[in-house]
């Protein structure tokens, strides 16, 4: 079978397994060249949200960089079936695992709903059986629009909305190659509450409580969750909107987790990442014009980073300098994005950008290319005319 990209708006309905393999290999190569003089690198790591974006990059950086960590990765992905080829994250898990095995690293993939108690039990068992009973680091990198309410089984749904007043912005459509005007009404109280339930810190805390109760965290265990703040230009839709309120909740959760981890001298961290094209971020209306301008400017200045560059810089750089935190104690790997010279140029591009010229003014080809690559397409090293053997794929398991 020949697999073509099938894009619907900002959602990819197909993915290319060989391209996913290329994506994982490229990231591995970028971590293998990292160096670290720290003797406090984590050796046993649990990654929640391990199959794509920042979670996958964290896992690759920690396994294939100087930490050489054994990992357990939890994700929610679909495999190949008669209905379709499955999701990119499914193949990322498979090819990560293959590469880790070659390097004699432990790598366990757990595929299922990280919010469920069943998956918590599977993780506990895997930590005992595969990692010798405890972990040194828990990476919390889930991104989702829904979370089941454990008491009722009904779903909380996040809504990406401004708070207080409506916002006009633009959203990209990768299917039509267009930038479309969108008007977002302000969130209702319920939308605010539910977004905080889905993307705030409650589940992170609950995971850390579970792992503490089961004695699965090593002495000095660290945990990190990822956040975004962004510049003034995106505040109405992000930082001061529903997602930003959820992130503020996440930031406060760090204090609760620090209290929880006191007895094992553990530590909770927030790393504020830069804006990047991921499966989750392309859903945020109003963010894309900013991404188009940001990519152009950061590439021009030689400062562009993808998820793997960010995670390498986090785990082999910023992490170890305890003095390198902001006033709130957050780790800022969005430091280059927020540089005054970058933002000045980004704002100048945004002031000119319209639905007609966005592909010229901004780095549309770059953003589209990264979006396609998230799904295994647009890799120069992959021959897309090659036949993909579906039966052979069915035999692969994460």
- Active-site positions read 238
Backbone angles phi, psi at 47, to 5 degrees: -115, 120
How far apart are alpha carbons 331 and 318 in whole angstroms? Answer: 7
Nearer to Na ion, 49 or 289 (CB): 49
- d(CA 199, CA 226) in angstroms, rounded, equals 11
Q: Is 52 annotated as a binding residue?
A: yes
Token pair 């300098």: residue: 321
Nearer to ligand NAD by Cβ, of 218 and 253: the residue is: 253
**In whole angstroms, what is the distance from residue 343 CA to residue 329 CA?**
23
In the chain, what's the furthest Cα-to-Cα distance? Answer: 58
142 binds, among Na ion, ligand NAD, none (CB under 5 to 8 A by kind): ligand NAD
The correct pick among 17, 42, 53, 66 for binding Na ion (CB under 5 A) is 53
Q: Do residues 212 and 260 lie in contact, with contact meaning Cβ atoms separated by under 8 Å?
A: yes
Is 54 or 371 the residue whose CB approaches Na ion more closely?
54
On whether 142 is known to bind a ligand per the annotation, the reply is yes
Tell me the C-alpha distance between 205 and 250, whole Å: 9
Q: By beta-carbon distance, which residue lies closest to Na ion? A: 55
- Beta-carbon count within 10 A of 112 CB: 14
Report if residue 54 touches Na ion, rule: CB under 5 A.
yes
Which among 163, 317, 156 has a CA at the least distance from the CA of 242? 163
Determine if residue 278 is labeled as part of a ligand binding site.
Answer: yes
CB of 310 to ligand NAD, least distance (A): 9
- Residue 335 contacts residue 275 (beta carbons within 8 Å): no
Among positions 299-358, residues that touch Na ion (CB under 5 A) are none
Pattern 129-148, binding to Na ion, x per CB under 5 A? ------------x-------
What is the rounded distance in angstroms from the CA atom of residue 136 to the CA atom of residue 159?
34
Ligand-binding annotation for 277, yes or no, is yes
Q: Would you say 51 is a known binding-site residue? A: yes
Instruction: Count how many residues are written for the chain.
Output: 398
Choose from Na ion, ligand NAD, none: what does 85 bind? Cβ within 5-8 Å by kind. none
- What is the DSSP code string of 144-200? -SEEE-TTT-PEEE-----SSS-EEEEEEETTTTEEEEEEEPPPPHHHHHHHHHHHS
8 Å CB contact between 334 and 229: yes
**In terms of CB distance, is 221 or 308 closer to Na ion?**
308
User: Roughly what angle, to the nearest 10 degrees, separates helices 364-374 and 288-300?
Assistant: 100
Q: Please give the structure tokens belonging to residue 230.
A: 């962004």
Chain residues in the site for ligand NAD (CB under 6 A): 49-55, 74-77, 89, 113-115, 141-144, 226-228, 273, 275-276, 278-281
Q: Tokens 């357990």 map to which residue?
A: 72
**With respect to ligand NAD, which residue has the nearer C-beta, 74 or 372?**
74
Q: Which does 279 bind (CB under 5 to 8 A by kind): Na ion, ligand NAD, none?
A: ligand NAD
The answer on whether 247 is annotated among ligand-binding residues is yes
Judge whether 201 is annotated as a binding position. no
Tell me the closest approach of the beta carbon of residue 4 to Na ion, in angstroms. Answer: 26
Q: State in angstroms the smallest separation of the CB of 110 from ligand NAD.
A: 9
Q: How far is the CB of 143 from ligand NAD (least distance, A)?
A: 3
- Residue 139 binds which of Na ion, ligand NAD, none (CB < 5-8 A, kind-dependent): none
Specify the stretch interacting with Na ion by CB under 5 A; choose among 55-63, 207-215, 371-379, 390-398.
55-63
Minimum CB separation of residue 185 from ligand NAD in Å reads 22
Print burial letters for 39-52: b (CB count within 10 Å at least 16), e (below 16): eebbbbbbbbbbbb
**Element (H or E) spanning 61, and its range?**
helix 53-64
Closest residue by beta carbon to ligand NAD: 53
Residues near Na ion (CB under 5 A) are 49, 53-55, 141
- Binding-site residues for NAD(+): 49-54, 76-77, 113-114, 142-143, 247, 276-278
- Binding-site residues for substrate: 228
């Amino acid at each position: 079978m020949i697999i073509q990209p099938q894009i619907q708006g900002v959602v990819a309905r197909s993915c290319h397994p060989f391209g996913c393999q290329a994506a994982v290999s490229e990231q591995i190569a970028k971590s293998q060249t990292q160096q670290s003089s720290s003797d406090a690198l984590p050796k046993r790591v649990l990654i929640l949200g391990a199959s794509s974006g920042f979670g996958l990059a964290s896992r690759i950086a920690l396994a294939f960089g100087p930490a050489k960590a054994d990992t357990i990765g939890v994700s929610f992905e679909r495999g190949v079936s008669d209905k379709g080829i499955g999701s990119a994250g499914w193949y990322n898990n498979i090819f990560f695992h293959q590469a880790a095995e070659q390097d004699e690293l432990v790598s366990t993939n757990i595929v299922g709903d990280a919010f469920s108690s069943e998956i918590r039990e599977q993780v506990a068992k895997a930590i005992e059986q595969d990692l010798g009973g405890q972990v040194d680091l828990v990476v919390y990198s889930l991104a989702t629009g829904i979370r089941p309410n454990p008491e009722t089984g009904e779903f909380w749904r996040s809504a990406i909305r401004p708070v207080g007043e409506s916002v006009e912005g633009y959203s990209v459509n990768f299917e039509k190659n267009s930038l479309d005007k969108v008007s977002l009404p302000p969130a209702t109280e319920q939308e605010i509450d539910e977004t905080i339930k889905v993307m705030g810190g409650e589940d992170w805390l609950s995971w850390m409580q579970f792992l503490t109760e089961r004695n699965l965290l090593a002495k000095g265990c660290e945990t990190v969750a990822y956040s975004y703040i962004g510049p003034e230009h995106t505040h109405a839709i992000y930082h001061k909107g529903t997602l930003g309120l959820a992130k503020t909740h996440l930031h406060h959760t760090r204090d609760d987790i620090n209290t929880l981890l006191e007895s094992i001298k553990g530590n909770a961290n927030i790393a504020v990442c830069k804006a990047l094209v991921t499966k989750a971020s392309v859903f945020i209306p109003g963010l894309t014009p900013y991404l188009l301008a940001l990519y152009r400017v950061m590439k021009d200045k030689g400062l562009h980073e993808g998820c793997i560059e960010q995670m390498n810089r986090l785990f082999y750089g910023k992490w170890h300098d305890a003095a390198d935190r902001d006033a709130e104690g957050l780790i800022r790997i969005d430091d280059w994005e927020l540089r005054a010279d970058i933002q000045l140029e980004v704002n100048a591009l945004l002031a000119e950008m319209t639905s007609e010229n966005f592909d010229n003014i901004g780095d549309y080809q770059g953003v589209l290319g990264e979006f396609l690559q998230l799904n295994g397409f647009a890799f120069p090293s992959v021959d897309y005319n090659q036949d993909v053997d579906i039966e052979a794929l069915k035999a692969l398991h994460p």
